[in-house]
């Protein structure tokens, strides 16, 4: 590495703990009482859990008893999809935590439809209208895509879903804490969120379940979470999630403006200094912190490794799909060519990033792209 500088630009993969979240969790380290116990130690733990539940509910415009805590966003997604008896409609641009359970349901004999998307990653609403029927149990559409940042029109999708008597689930792991969400206004029946994407601890998620919505637990073996999710509650992580949501409520609006300015600066700098590039995702309806860009004649993995040598951390796509050298399936579904899909990186900004970080990235990135392209046997630019 040329210097000791570290620029972390992979916040959609995971985020550092917010200092106030860390402090809240440290204070709770000695809280060992079982929340189900009736004596004082248990009641204190229970009170902390219910306080956190209230914070999450208020942030989403929900009621506290509509929130259950899970071990992750992935668990929450699997829980909802396990409710499908007949038909599921989802999209080709979902996170693997939806796509893989959907494929499992197919193998079990359920009918599953994967909606197509346009070149910006927007779900085909007309296909949804043609496909949905009175036999459809659930429509599950990601609110904001983890790779390209495109935000879906969940309210319209919910209206269509409910016209046919089906339920709507949205994987909002990348959206919660980044854009305003009110589950009542949007017409959502189930919503998934995760702590570690918004400066909270890993190993904790939450699931919103609209009151009176049909539900059965995915994990059995205990009465916890009002018989909706068995297992002794992870008190420490739940306290951390509650504090995380508190901080999101305070900081989200200003952070959105600041990150959008940094993203604009980064995008303009790439345009001006590097040729043969393609920006992926919707130009407007996109997360303020997410920029996915493809470079012709440059492998994404090579770009990532050379940037890492300079202290810059980015991703080639979803962290849950890393380990595969295949081009991003999300990009291919938007019609991106295999060459550009192979040459894509995902840059995702966070609360600690500064203009200096962007300037440094714009200093290093053009050199890296030139180096990678010089080594390429196919690039003719």
* Residues annotated catalytic, as ranges: 320
| Degrees to nearest 5, angle at CA 170 with 168 and 172 | 160
User: What DSSP assignment string belongs to 214-247?
Assistant: ----SS-S--HHHHTS-S---HHHHHHHHHHHHH
Structure tokens at 263: 């993203």
Q: Give which of 368, 365, 369, 346 is closest to 357, Cα–Cα.
A: 365
Distance of CA 285 to the CA centre of its chain: 15
CA 148 to CA 123: how far, in whole Å?
Answer: 13
Going by the DSSP 8-state scheme, the letter that residue 18 receives in this structure is P
CA 326 to CA 105: how far, in whole Å?
Answer: 24
Let me know if 160 is exposed, middle or buried by CB neighbors in 10 A (0-12, 13-18, 19+).
middle
- Residue 280 DSSP SS3: strand
Question: Rg for the chain (alpha carbons), in Å?
Answer: 21
Structure tokens at 239: 């306290």
CA 48 to CA 4: how far, in whole Å?
Answer: 40
The CA-atom distances, in angstroms, between 167 and each of 90, 98, 177, 206, 207 are 12, 16, 24, 18, 15
Place of tokens 């739940």: 238
Whether the Cβ atoms of residue 71 and residue 201 lie closer than 8 Å to each other:
no
């Amino acid at each position: 590495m040329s210097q000791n500088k570290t620029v972390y630009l992979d916040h959609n993969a995971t985020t550092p703990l917010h200092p106030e979240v860390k402090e809240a969790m440290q204070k709770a380290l000695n809280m060992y009482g079982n929340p189900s116990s009736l004596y004082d130690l248990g009641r204190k733990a229970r009170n902390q859990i219910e306080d956190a539940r209230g914070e999450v509910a208020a942030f989403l415009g929900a009621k506290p008893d509509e929130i259950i805590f899970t071990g992750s966003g992935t668990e929450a997604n699997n829980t909802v999809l396990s409710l499908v008896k007949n038909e599921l409609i989802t999209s080709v641009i979902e996170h693997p935590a939806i796509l893989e359970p959907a494929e499992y349901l197919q193998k079990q004999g359920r009918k599953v439809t994967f909606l197509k998307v346009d070149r910006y990653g927007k779900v085909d609403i007309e296909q949804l209208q043609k496909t949905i029927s009175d036999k459809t149990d659930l429509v599950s559409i990601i609110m904001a895509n983890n790779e390209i940042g495109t935000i879906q029109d969940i309210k319209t999708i919910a209206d269509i879903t409910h016209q046919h008597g089906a339920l709507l689930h949205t994987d909002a792991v990348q959206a919660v804490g980044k854009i305003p969400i009110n589950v009542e206004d949007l017409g959502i029946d189930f919503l998934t969120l995760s702590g570690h994407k918004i400066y909270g601890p890993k190993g904790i998620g939450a699931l919103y379940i609209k009151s009176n919505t049909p539900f059965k637990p995915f994990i059995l073996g205990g009465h916890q979470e009002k018989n909706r999710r068995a297992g002794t509650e992870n008190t420490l992580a739940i306290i951390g999630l509650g504090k995380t949501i508190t901080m999101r409520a305070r900081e989200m609006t200003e952070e959105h403006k600041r990150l959008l300015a940094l993203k604009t600066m980064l995008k303009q700098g790439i345009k001006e200094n590097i040729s043969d590039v393609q920006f992926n995702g919707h130009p407007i309806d996109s997360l303020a912190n997410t920029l996915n860009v493809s470079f012709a004649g440059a492998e994404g993995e090579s770009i990532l490794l050379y940037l890492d040598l300079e202290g810059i951390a980015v991703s080639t796509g979803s962290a849950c799909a890393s380990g595969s050298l295949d081009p991003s399936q999300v990009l291919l579904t938007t019609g991106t060519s295999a060459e550009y899909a192979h040459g894509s990186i995902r840059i995702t900004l966070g609360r600690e990033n500064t203009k200096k970080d962007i300037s440094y990235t714009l200093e290093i990135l053009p050199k890296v792209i030139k180096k990678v392209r010089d080594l390429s046997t196919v690039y003719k630019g």
